[in-house]
Structure 1
């Protein structure tokens, strides 16, 4: 080992090593200045690109809104453009789409703006629509899927004269969002924090029980005249036609949504002007006509593997106990509206 000693004056540099030595001096002040200038120039290019993209998106949503407000049969009200509150909602929609720019968001915002244009300023629904427009860009596909799942299970009851169409419609609507249910727990937590869902202190029902409650009546066997006469020997209550004939609320032979559920039928039976004994006999007769739960599950689950996935997600997460608020219904309705056509106006659920 050699004895090495050094003495370095102010501003001097000394290097000492017994083996190979690599010295990194770093960048000089001039080099750093060049780097900063290059980064600044690139950042300016990025800002300009973002600004151009934002303006292009604003023009895109403006064009789609113009189409919506001028298409034949539209419910959008052009007089709303005179309203300052509507103008603020419109500006919010432009900013939201300018930021995010997805096709799904564009459809949702156009639908929400159209709905907002037909509502009186400061009304409850107008205020909810303003809120929905402001937060729609902050929801992921997962969160929209969560809202759609709750809406489908709690708000929609398909009703066709052809029972196979009921099953087909249910399979079709659930297939739209099931694959986007990826992080339901986190989605529910966020949706709850912004007031889209609630957790009332009620009994949580499993997936297939909800399906059964919603659709068992549509698949019930018919009630015969002789069976009714045995319950009402002195003549049928006039309102009973609501249950036996008009419960489909049909127009031209079939309807798309809001079919009869067990809860609907129980309420209608309760409203009949007859004795409690007769009401109970009618309930028992109706219950006897309902299909077995296993039979209905088999009908709905056949050739629909996505329903098994939806059932597992529903029954293993907080979806099972969650309910949509009015705000959540508006956002879910907007996301699913294109699949309802004009057969499901928003006022069916929010008014």
Structure 2
């Protein structure tokens, strides 16, 4: 039966039985958003037994309540995204996936993806990626989602640290919570690849030692004698921005910035790109041997024993934009916060 509603100025209209239409001039309240969200999720989702339908309705109620709470905290221009049929489709997909699976972890991941989708401009790359992530995330196991989170955190992100203790504290907080879910099974990684979340680069993986020596060399310096420093860099020996006492051998020196990227930011201070490159090379070539780094990491974070066991395969993953979006949502779900997804998914 055809349903029709008409509204005048300052009206708020809703229509179920197909796409939900919203004519919103005053902004949606929490209850308005919840009603629209529930209607979108429930459309064409009634062919269940009474017991199953009760469970489904309970899950819809949870998803719509939580999504409404999150959306009501966004600026009005983002709330208006609820009028977009593409957003409504994403809401429907997320709601139905949670209704089928019913895990709190999946609900939180989908809610984070949905919230990000409401802030993404229509037809943008970010919106497209988030749409795909909302469809694919429920098709992954919790282990697969954790695998994406670890690969993203170690291979595609870094955070400021200036000591070994700071590095271990960061890794303990941002990586260790996922390690217990990691597996060695090739099937896990091939499934991620088949769904477009990542490519498995069998002959071009990144070792954990490469990760630590690239992103956190300041935490693993072997130490330098003053005479080991190239002559062009010796005028900077007294400069605490450039050199400091070695954390592992205080009688020696080490390069002070965190990594090569941090050194680049000091280009003007150093006096040019050639000096930057020389300092980067000095730091890169002065990292402790792999076995020593491994022992230090495992002593500080015993959970990393398992990470080393699975890394031969996990380190070969090259995440797609969809894989990054899911990894970001999983990280936010587990840790409570995360950087802006637009850092990795943008059209600049």
Whether TM exceeds 0.5 here: the answer is yes
Question: Residues 79 and 118 of structure 2 are in contact (CA less than 8 Å); yes or no, is this contact kept in structure 1?
Answer: yes
- Once the two structures are TM-superposed, the CA of residue 329 in structure 1 deviates from its matched residue by 0.5
Return the alpha-carbon distance in structure 2 between the equivalents of residues 76 and 195 of structure 1.
32
Residue equivalent to 1:253? none
Task: Pick from 309, 319, 328 the counterpart of residue 333 of structure 1.
Answer: 328
- Once the two structures are TM-superposed, the CA of residue 125 in structure 1 deviates from its matched residue by 1.0
1:217-263 Cα shifts (integer Å, max 9, x gaps): 35558999999995179x99xxxx9x859xxxxxxxxxxxxx9444x
2:66 aligned with 1:69: no
Task: Pick from 312, 329, 340 the counterpart of residue 345 of structure 1.
Answer: 340
Residue equivalent to 2:36? none
Residue equivalent to 1:297? 294
Quick one: structure 1 residues 244 and 114, their matched pair in 2 at CA, closer, same or farther if it must change by over 3 Å? farther
Is there any run of 5+ residues in structure 2 with no aligned partner, and where? 1-47, 244-256
- Once the two structures are TM-superposed, the CA of residue 347 in structure 1 deviates from its matched residue by 1.4
- Aligned pairs for 1:116-135 (under 5 A) are 116-135=117-136
Quick one: structure 1 residues 167 and 232, their matched pair in 2 at CA, closer, same or farther if it must change by over 3 Å? closer
Is there any run of 5+ residues in structure 1 with no aligned partner, and where? 1-45, 246-258
- Once the two structures are TM-superposed, the CA of residue 339 in structure 1 deviates from its matched residue by 4.8
2:304 aligned with 1:307: yes
- SS for the counterpart of 1:323 is strand
- Once the two structures are TM-superposed, the CA of residue 119 in structure 1 deviates from its matched residue by 0.6
Question: Residues 212 and 293 of structure 1 are in contact (CA less than 8 Å); yes or no, is this contact kept in structure 2?
Answer: no
1:87-139 Cα shifts (integer Å, max 9, x gaps): 11111111111111100011011101100000111111101101111122111
Question: Residues 269 and 283 of structure 1 are in contact (CA less than 8 Å); yes or no, is this contact kept in structure 2?
Answer: no
Return the alpha-carbon distance in structure 2 between the equivalents of residues 58 and 275 of structure 1.
57
Question: Residues 146 and 184 of structure 1 are in contact (CA less than 8 Å); yes or no, is this contact kept in structure 2?
Answer: no
Return the alpha-carbon distance in structure 1 between the equivalents of residues 113 and 273 of structure 2.
48
Residue equivalent to 1:60? 62
Residue equivalent to 2:5? none
Return the alpha-carbon distance in structure 1 between the equivalents of residues 242 and 59 of structure 2.
53
Residue equivalent to 1:16? none
Quick one: structure 1 residues 204 and 270, their matched pair in 2 at CA, closer, same or farther if it must change by over 3 Å? farther
The one of the two structures with greater contact order (alpha-carbon pairs below 8 A, sep at least 6) is: 1
Return the alpha-carbon distance in structure 2 between the equivalents of residues 280 and 89 of structure 1.
47
2:96 aligned with 1:95: yes
Return the alpha-carbon distance in structure 2 between the equivalents of residues 76 and 335 of structure 1.
26
Question: Residues 213 and 220 of structure 2 are in contact (CA less than 8 Å); yes or no, is this contact kept in structure 1?
Answer: no
